[in-house]
Amino acid sequence: MTKKYDGPSPAEKLVDSLVELMEAGQAPWRREWSGGGGTAPINLATGHRYRGSNVALLVLQQYVRGSSLPLWIGRSQARERGWMPRKGSKGCYIIRPQMNQYERTGEDGKPVIGADGSPEVAAWVSFKPVCVFNAADLQGDGLAEAIAAVTGAAERPEHERIARAESVLGAWPVATAFGGNRAMYSPDADRITVPTLASFTTAEAHYATWAHEAIHSTGHKDRLCRDLYNPFGSDGYAREELVAELGAVMLCQRLEIGSDMNNHAAYLHHWARILRSGPKVLYRILSEARKAADLVCPEPEAEG
């Protein structure tokens, strides 16, 4: 008789890995961004950028691990090229959407026929956790050359990236006031406040902060209608901060600017407690964050 597996599911492993990284990640999380902020997570085997919620998952794990390489690869892809994870290294989990469908049946067990004469089909999306490794955790012949080939791609000049960030965020219809020493979004006034550009050490930090507040503003009752009135320190407040942080990560990658999480390190343990509720909570938060980022700046078309 086959023994039933009672260990954690892949989805639970995904949550556990994030909780573990958050609980142990104070020092590397506080590492300041040092250029190259716009480099999105890329698959080392294909050269294609990761998309959607996986951008936030991989950037988060890259920050907390203190890695400088935004290059990732699946276990089987690495094995095909003769590369193996270094001893003691751990993989990271991302999510792969899967379309599911079945033909509807009536009470008599027969297929339900639609107006066009074809059987009606019900469809839904599920998510499968997939393990990937950071390029820095691999070893093997030809690995250095592969990394150089992918990272050698020309990066858009900084002034162009900054100009685009100004254009996209400036076009966001929520009024933004610049000044003071505090960044915030007021849902009652439906207004963003961000310190002036001169108040930040880099232009990217200014626009990353603006992006964070723009994500908060997507939760207004006339937009995505999230609860923005939770008291400071509550689980609801921390949850909205996590949505805004992950949404800002996705948005900043689309704008090709760094998404410095330095100001939000204090939330790590609170976020870890929220995520312990299970995979469904993480999926909902990622879904909300992606919808918010899409509202401000739709994701580019997938690469062929």
Tell me the backbone φ, ψ of residue 188, rounded to 5 degrees.
-65, -45
| pLDDT surpassing 50 at residue 93 | yes
In a domain, 73, yes or no: yes
Longest dimension (CA), the chain: 71
Higher-pLDDT residue of 69 and 171 is 171
In a domain, 255, yes or no: yes
| pLDDT surpassing 60 at residue 30 | no
**SS3 assignment, position 122:** strand
Which of 35-39, 67-71, 74-78 has the least mean pLDDT?
35-39
Q: What domain count does the chain have?
A: 1
| Residue 202: predicted pLDDT | 87
Q: Show the domain range for 93.
A: 10-296
Q: How far is CA 100 from the centre of its chain?
A: 24
In a domain, 69, yes or no: yes
Distance (Å, whole) CA 99 – CA 160 = 38
For residues 46 and 38, is the Cβ–Cβ distance under 8 A? Answer: no
* DSSP β-ladder status, 84-85 and 184-186: unpaired
In a domain, 135, yes or no: yes
57: enclosing H helix or E strand: helix 53-65
In a domain, 283, yes or no: yes
| Residue 36: predicted pLDDT | 43
**pLDDT tens digits for range 159-210:** 999 999 999 999 999 999 999 999 999 999 999 999 999 998 889 889 989 9
In a domain, 167, yes or no: yes
**pLDDT tens digits for range 105-146:** 888 878 788 888 888 887 777 778 889 999 999 999 999 999
pTM assigned to the model: 0.79
User: Two tokens at 120?
Assistant: 């009606």
